[in-house]
Amino acid sequence: MPPGYSFVIADDHPLFRGALREALAGIGNVVAIHEAGDFESAKALVVANEDVDLVLLDLSMPGASGLSGLISLRGIHPAVPLVVVSAHDDPATIRRALDLGASGFISKSASMDEIRDAVRSVLAGDIAAPVGVDLGVERDPEISDLIKRLQALTPQQTRVLGMLAEGLLNKQIAYELGVSEATVKAHVSAILQKLGVDSRTQAVILLSRIGSDPPQPIG
Protein backbone atom coordinates (compact mmCIF):
# COMPACT_ATOMS: atom_id res chain seq x y z
CA MET A 1 0.00 0.00 0.00
CA PRO A 2 1.54 3.36 -0.95
CA PRO A 3 1.98 5.96 1.83
CA GLY A 4 -0.88 7.98 0.38
CA TYR A 5 -1.76 9.83 -2.78
CA SER A 6 -0.78 13.41 -3.55
CA PHE A 7 -2.80 15.36 -6.14
CA VAL A 8 -2.69 18.73 -7.88
CA ILE A 9 -5.98 20.30 -9.02
CA ALA A 10 -5.49 23.10 -11.56
CA ASP A 11 -8.74 24.90 -12.32
CA ASP A 12 -9.73 28.57 -12.13
CA HIS A 13 -13.24 27.91 -10.79
CA PRO A 14 -13.24 27.52 -6.97
CA LEU A 15 -16.56 25.65 -6.99
CA PHE A 16 -15.29 23.10 -9.48
CA ARG A 17 -12.02 22.72 -7.58
CA GLY A 18 -14.14 21.96 -4.53
CA ALA A 19 -16.07 19.30 -6.44
CA LEU A 20 -12.83 17.70 -7.66
CA ARG A 21 -11.38 17.82 -4.15
CA GLU A 22 -14.49 16.05 -2.83
CA ALA A 23 -14.23 13.42 -5.56
CA LEU A 24 -10.53 12.80 -4.85
CA ALA A 25 -11.08 12.64 -1.08
CA GLY A 26 -13.54 9.82 -1.72
CA ILE A 27 -10.79 7.70 -3.27
CA GLY A 28 -9.23 7.14 0.14
CA ASN A 29 -5.59 7.09 1.24
CA VAL A 30 -5.07 10.71 0.18
CA VAL A 31 -2.36 12.67 1.98
CA ALA A 32 -2.33 15.93 0.02
CA ILE A 33 -4.51 17.82 -2.46
CA HIS A 34 -2.83 20.96 -3.79
CA GLU A 35 -4.91 23.55 -5.65
CA ALA A 36 -4.02 26.12 -8.30
CA GLY A 37 -6.29 28.72 -9.86
CA ASP A 38 -4.03 29.73 -12.73
CA PHE A 39 -1.40 28.06 -14.88
CA GLU A 40 1.63 29.73 -13.25
CA SER A 41 0.55 28.39 -9.84
CA ALA A 42 -0.10 24.96 -11.35
CA LYS A 43 3.41 24.84 -12.81
CA ALA A 44 4.93 25.96 -9.52
CA LEU A 45 3.05 23.20 -7.65
CA VAL A 46 4.18 20.53 -10.11
CA VAL A 47 7.80 21.72 -9.85
CA ALA A 48 7.68 21.91 -6.03
CA ASN A 49 5.94 18.54 -5.49
CA GLU A 50 7.97 15.93 -7.31
CA ASP A 51 6.13 13.17 -5.46
CA VAL A 52 2.73 14.17 -6.86
CA ASP A 53 0.81 11.14 -8.13
CA LEU A 54 -1.59 12.84 -10.52
CA VAL A 55 -2.45 16.28 -11.91
CA LEU A 56 -5.99 17.30 -12.88
CA LEU A 57 -5.68 20.10 -15.45
CA ASP A 58 -8.38 22.40 -16.78
CA LEU A 59 -7.65 23.38 -20.39
CA SER A 60 -9.17 26.86 -20.10
CA MET A 61 -7.51 28.74 -17.27
CA PRO A 62 -5.54 32.00 -17.00
CA GLY A 63 -2.02 31.58 -18.39
CA ALA A 64 -2.71 28.44 -20.42
CA SER A 65 -3.99 28.29 -23.96
CA GLY A 66 -5.73 24.98 -24.34
CA LEU A 67 -3.58 21.96 -25.02
CA SER A 68 -0.37 24.01 -24.90
CA GLY A 69 -0.76 23.98 -21.09
CA LEU A 70 -0.83 20.19 -21.17
CA ILE A 71 2.31 20.17 -23.36
CA SER A 72 4.15 22.50 -20.93
CA LEU A 73 3.33 20.42 -17.85
CA ARG A 74 4.26 17.19 -19.62
CA GLY A 75 7.69 18.72 -20.22
CA ILE A 76 8.19 19.50 -16.52
CA HIS A 77 7.39 16.04 -15.18
CA PRO A 78 6.97 13.51 -17.99
CA ALA A 79 6.37 10.65 -15.55
CA VAL A 80 3.49 12.31 -13.66
CA PRO A 81 0.07 11.31 -15.04
CA LEU A 82 -1.93 14.29 -16.26
CA VAL A 83 -5.69 14.10 -16.57
CA VAL A 84 -7.39 16.85 -18.57
CA VAL A 85 -10.66 18.15 -17.13
CA SER A 86 -12.64 20.22 -19.60
CA ALA A 87 -16.07 21.36 -20.70
CA HIS A 88 -14.77 21.01 -24.28
CA ASP A 89 -15.47 17.29 -24.39
CA ASP A 90 -15.90 16.75 -28.11
CA PRO A 91 -14.12 13.67 -29.56
CA ALA A 92 -11.42 15.73 -31.34
CA THR A 93 -10.35 17.57 -28.16
CA ILE A 94 -10.30 14.32 -26.14
CA ARG A 95 -8.30 12.49 -28.81
CA ARG A 96 -5.78 15.33 -29.20
CA ALA A 97 -5.27 15.54 -25.43
CA LEU A 98 -4.56 11.80 -25.24
CA ASP A 99 -2.30 11.95 -28.32
CA LEU A 100 -0.28 14.72 -26.65
CA GLY A 101 0.37 12.67 -23.55
CA ALA A 102 -2.62 13.07 -21.23
CA SER A 103 -3.29 9.92 -19.20
CA GLY A 104 -7.00 10.62 -19.12
CA PHE A 105 -9.81 12.99 -19.95
CA ILE A 106 -12.71 13.89 -17.68
CA SER A 107 -15.66 15.93 -18.91
CA LYS A 108 -16.81 18.72 -16.59
CA SER A 109 -20.26 17.18 -16.81
CA ALA A 110 -19.00 13.89 -15.30
CA SER A 111 -20.52 12.60 -12.07
CA MET A 112 -18.53 12.15 -8.84
CA ASP A 113 -18.39 8.40 -9.47
CA GLU A 114 -17.16 8.90 -13.04
CA ILE A 115 -14.42 11.27 -11.82
CA ARG A 116 -13.32 8.76 -9.16
CA ASP A 117 -13.38 5.86 -11.62
CA ALA A 118 -11.24 7.80 -14.10
CA VAL A 119 -8.71 8.80 -11.43
CA ARG A 120 -8.50 5.25 -10.05
CA SER A 121 -8.02 3.95 -13.58
CA VAL A 122 -5.12 6.34 -14.25
CA LEU A 123 -3.51 5.63 -10.86
CA ALA A 124 -3.61 1.94 -11.84
CA GLY A 125 -1.65 2.77 -14.98
CA ASP A 126 -4.49 2.83 -17.49
CA ILE A 127 -5.73 5.55 -19.85
CA ALA A 128 -9.13 6.98 -18.91
CA ALA A 129 -11.45 8.37 -21.58
CA PRO A 130 -15.17 9.13 -21.29
CA VAL A 131 -17.27 6.01 -21.79
CA GLY A 132 -19.26 5.71 -24.99
CA VAL A 133 -17.37 8.39 -26.94
CA ASP A 134 -16.03 7.35 -30.33
CA LEU A 135 -12.73 9.24 -30.56
CA GLY A 136 -12.43 8.60 -34.29
CA VAL A 137 -9.33 9.71 -36.17
CA GLU A 138 -7.74 13.11 -36.79
CA ARG A 139 -9.32 14.62 -39.91
CA ASP A 140 -7.12 17.70 -40.06
CA PRO A 141 -3.85 16.62 -41.77
CA GLU A 142 -2.00 19.70 -40.47
CA ILE A 143 -2.96 18.95 -36.86
CA SER A 144 -2.10 15.28 -37.36
CA ASP A 145 1.35 16.23 -38.64
CA LEU A 146 1.84 18.76 -35.81
CA ILE A 147 0.96 16.17 -33.14
CA LYS A 148 3.52 13.75 -34.61
CA ARG A 149 6.16 16.48 -34.58
CA LEU A 150 5.34 17.42 -30.96
CA GLN A 151 5.53 13.75 -29.96
CA ALA A 152 9.10 13.70 -31.34
CA LEU A 153 10.29 16.36 -28.86
CA THR A 154 12.23 15.28 -25.77
CA PRO A 155 10.77 16.28 -22.36
CA GLN A 156 13.29 19.11 -22.03
CA GLN A 157 12.55 20.37 -25.56
CA THR A 158 8.84 20.20 -24.74
CA ARG A 159 9.44 22.28 -21.63
CA VAL A 160 11.47 24.86 -23.57
CA LEU A 161 8.72 25.08 -26.20
CA GLY A 162 6.20 25.80 -23.44
CA MET A 163 8.44 28.61 -22.15
CA LEU A 164 8.81 30.03 -25.68
CA ALA A 165 5.01 30.09 -25.85
CA GLU A 166 4.98 32.13 -22.64
CA GLY A 167 7.29 34.68 -24.28
CA LEU A 168 10.40 33.94 -22.20
CA LEU A 169 13.80 34.95 -23.56
CA ASN A 170 16.67 32.46 -23.84
CA LYS A 171 18.38 33.87 -20.73
CA GLN A 172 15.15 33.57 -18.73
CA ILE A 173 14.67 29.97 -19.90
CA ALA A 174 18.30 29.22 -19.00
CA TYR A 175 17.74 30.63 -15.50
CA GLU A 176 14.50 28.64 -15.02
CA LEU A 177 16.10 25.38 -16.13
CA GLY A 178 19.48 25.95 -14.49
CA VAL A 179 21.37 25.51 -17.76
CA SER A 180 23.53 27.74 -19.98
CA GLU A 181 22.14 29.99 -22.69
CA ALA A 182 24.11 27.92 -25.21
CA THR A 183 22.18 24.83 -24.10
CA VAL A 184 18.87 26.68 -24.51
CA LYS A 185 19.91 27.83 -28.00
CA ALA A 186 20.69 24.20 -28.90
CA HIS A 187 17.24 23.15 -27.61
CA VAL A 188 15.53 25.92 -29.59
CA SER A 189 17.38 24.91 -32.78
CA ALA A 190 16.34 21.29 -32.28
CA ILE A 191 12.72 22.32 -31.63
CA LEU A 192 12.56 24.46 -34.79
CA GLN A 193 14.04 21.61 -36.82
CA LYS A 194 11.60 19.03 -35.45
CA LEU A 195 8.62 21.35 -35.94
CA GLY A 196 9.78 22.27 -39.43
CA VAL A 197 9.76 26.04 -38.82
CA ASP A 198 12.36 28.82 -39.14
CA SER A 199 11.70 30.96 -36.07
CA ARG A 200 10.53 30.93 -32.46
CA THR A 201 7.51 32.99 -33.51
CA GLN A 202 6.48 30.38 -36.07
CA ALA A 203 6.91 27.64 -33.45
CA VAL A 204 4.62 29.49 -31.03
CA ILE A 205 2.01 30.13 -33.76
CA LEU A 206 2.12 26.43 -34.64
CA LEU A 207 1.63 25.48 -31.00
CA SER A 208 -1.34 27.86 -30.69
CA ARG A 209 -3.06 25.95 -33.52
CA ILE A 210 -3.65 23.22 -31.00
CA GLY A 211 -5.28 25.78 -28.70
CA SER A 212 -8.42 25.71 -26.62
CA ASP A 213 -11.11 26.40 -29.17
CA PRO A 214 -12.97 23.18 -29.86
CA PRO A 215 -12.79 22.23 -33.52
CA GLN A 216 -15.97 22.90 -35.47
CA PRO A 217 -17.73 19.93 -37.02
CA ILE A 218 -17.14 19.64 -40.75
CA GLY A 219 -20.19 20.08 -42.99
CB of 148 closer than 8 Å to CB of 194: no
Query: Are both 66 and 92 inside the same structural domain?
Result: yes
Among the candidates 123, 158, 173, a domain finishes at 123
Distance, in Å, from the CA atom of 158 to the CA atom of 164, rounded to the nearest integer, reads: 10
Cα 54 to the center of its chain, rounded Å: 11
Structural domain containing residue 204: 141-208
Q: Is residue 17 part of a domain?
A: yes
Q: Is residue 72 part of a domain?
A: yes
CB of 57 closer than 8 Å to CB of 84: yes
Per the structure, how many domains does the chain have? Answer: 2
Query: Are both 119 and 146 inside the same structural domain?
Result: no
Q: Is residue 145 part of a domain?
A: yes
% pLDDT > 70, the chain? 93
Query: Are both 99 and 15 inside the same structural domain?
Result: yes
> The CATH number of the domain where 82 resides is what?
3.40.50.2300
**Beta bridge partners of residue 157, listed in sequence order:** none
Query: Are both 92 and 149 inside the same structural domain?
Result: no
| pLDDT tens sequence for the chain (219 residues) | 457 899 999 999 998 899 999 999 888 888 889 999 988 888 888 888 888 999 999 987 777 767 778 888 888 888 889 999 988 888 888 998 999 889 999 998 889 999 999 999 999 999 998 887 888 788 888 888 999 999 999 988 998 998 888 888 999 999 988 999 999 999 999 999 999 999 999 998 888 887 644 444 333
DSSP notation for 21-57: HHHHHTTS-EEEEEEESSHHHHHHHHHH-TT--EEEE
pLDDT of residue 65: 65
Among the candidates 89, 123, 157, a domain finishes at 123
What phi, psi does 44 have (nearest 5°)?
Answer: -60, -40
Q: Is residue 54 part of a domain?
A: yes
